Structure 1
Amino acid sequence: MKKALLAPVLCLTLMLMAFRPYAEVEMIKKRVLSERVEVLIPKGFEVMSEQQMDFNYAKAQSRPSVIYTNSKEASIAFTYTDNTADQDMIDMYSENFYKMYSKQYKEAKWFNKGVKEVNGRKVGYMELMKPELGHEVYNLIFFTDVEGKLLMCNFTCADRQKPEWETVAKQIMNSFKTNG
């Protein structure tokens, strides 16, 4: 009798495992930008080396202040800009960034955009898939003011990895806390 139940139970277990969502990614708290910001980062993500940043951003007008990555599969970049910003300006930045990105990336597929409250602060965000170097890249860009300047954060991964990383990207955005 027990052997007769073993096969269907085993089959059901395998089917449930096949349909389960991607494994949970363990997150750890990190303080970035000289302790100005606290955010959850996936465990295993390391700060990109200066040499790799120089190589990746050799032709860019500006480069991020710090990038955490897991061997090029996914990354979260923090760019602390010189642009003046405060909580009253986040809606304006959100509208302007959407217009700019829509114009620059006409083929982009938009998932969401707007302004939300995260830990008592206004945070603007844009979620899209855009072409980059011959393939599609998932981006969750979010931004807010920190000590009177605009902080831009950009989570990126390849389009095929979006199902695995989209929830993680949103966890990062929703964990964002600033000390200024």
Structure 2
Amino acid sequence: MKNVLLAPVYCLVAVLLMAARPFAEVELVKKRVLSERVEILIPKGFEVMSEQQMDFLYAKAQSRPSVIYTNASHASLSFTYTDNTADQDMVPMYAQNFVKTYKKQYPDATFFADGVKEVNGRKVGFIEMMKPELGHQMYTLIFFTDVEDRLLMCTFSCPDRQKPEWETVAKQVMGSFRTNS
């Protein structure tokens, strides 16, 4: 009798575990980007966005990413190799300035974390937030460091409803960052 009463509980637990399983199984593949300056893990199935798509999306923007990897469900990872001078000593300063700028630019955003951490022997600044974009909320993890004396900014973003699926993956991507210089 006790087993009969617990059967629905076991079924519920099994369904929840199966539902959560795809989130943990995003396969990451090693890619070299920005003329092989950077090595990073990118979710399998993400493809480079075409120049035409980038031109359309960033037609009114002051600058656009150097390269964007995206998938069919609106998650993306972009790399912007800026002209700004940067070195390891400047990463904490950039982190402080970016936090101030983003908080001012997105007063309605929810900020989860920010700071500087060491990733594969390098200082990497980051900001993690949920911000409004085109009428809905986007989970965004921005991370940045110096590459060959210039600032590289990487942005992983997805719609808020996909945050449970992509948040851990975004952090794994950031944690895999390596420069080849």
Bin for the TM-score computed over the shorter chain: over 0.9
Which residue is equivalent to 2:133? Answer: 132
Percent sequence identity over aligned pairs: 69
Query: Which amino acid in 2 is paired with 1:109?
Result: T
Supply the distance in 1 between the matched residues of 2:4 and 2:27 (Cα, whole angstroms): 33
- What RMSD in Å do the two structures reach over aligned CA positions? 1.9
Match of 1:18 among 13, 16, 19: 16
Q: In the TM superposition, what whole-angstrom CA distance separates every residue of 1:37-75 from its partner, at most 9, and x where no partner exists?
A: 000000000000000000000000000000000025200
Give the match's secondary structure for 2:62: coil
DSSP-derived class of the 1:166 partner: helix
TM-score of the pair, normalised by structure 1: 0.92
Aligned residue number for residue 76 of structure 1: 77
Map of 1:28-177 to 2, 5 A cutoff? 28-177=29-178
C-alpha distance in 2 between matches for 1:110 and 1:90: 19
Distance change >3 Å, CA 168–CA 43, structure 1 → 2: same
In structure 2, the residue corresponding to 1:99 is in which secondary structure? helix
Superposed displacement of residue 16, structure 1: 2.2
What TM-score do the two structures reach when normalised by structure 2?
0.92
Residues in 1 aligned to 2:127 and 2:60: alpha-carbon distance in whole angstroms: 24
Say if 1:22 and 1:164, in contact at 8 Å, map to a contact too: no
Q: Residue deviations 1:90-124, cap 9 Å, x none?
A: 00000000000000100010100000000000000
What CA distance in whole angstroms lies between the structure 2 residues aligned with 1:41 and 1:97?
Answer: 24
Name the SS of the counterpart of 1:169 in structure 2.
Answer: helix
**CA shift at 1:19, angstroms?**
3.7
Distance, in Å, in 1 between the alignment partners of 2:71 and 2:64 is 18
Moved over 2 A (4+): 5-17, 19-22
Partners of 2:177 and 2:96 in 1: CA distance: 21
Q: Distance in 2 between matches of 1:22 and 1:74?
A: 19
What is the CA–CA distance in structure 2 between the aligned matches of 1:48 and 1:130, rounded to whole Å?
22
User: Aligned partners of 1:26 and 1:178: how far apart in 2?
Assistant: 22
Give the counterpart letter for 2:165 in structure 1: E
Which residues of structure 1 form unaligned runs of 5+? none
Distance 2:101 2:76 in 1: 22
1:179 offset after TM fit, Å?
1.3
> CA 1:139–1:51 in structure 2 vs 1: closer, same or farther (change >3 Å)?
same
Q: Give secondary structure in 1 for the equivalent of 2:166.
A: helix
For the residues of structure 2 that align with 1:22 and 1:7, how far apart are their CA atoms?
Answer: 26
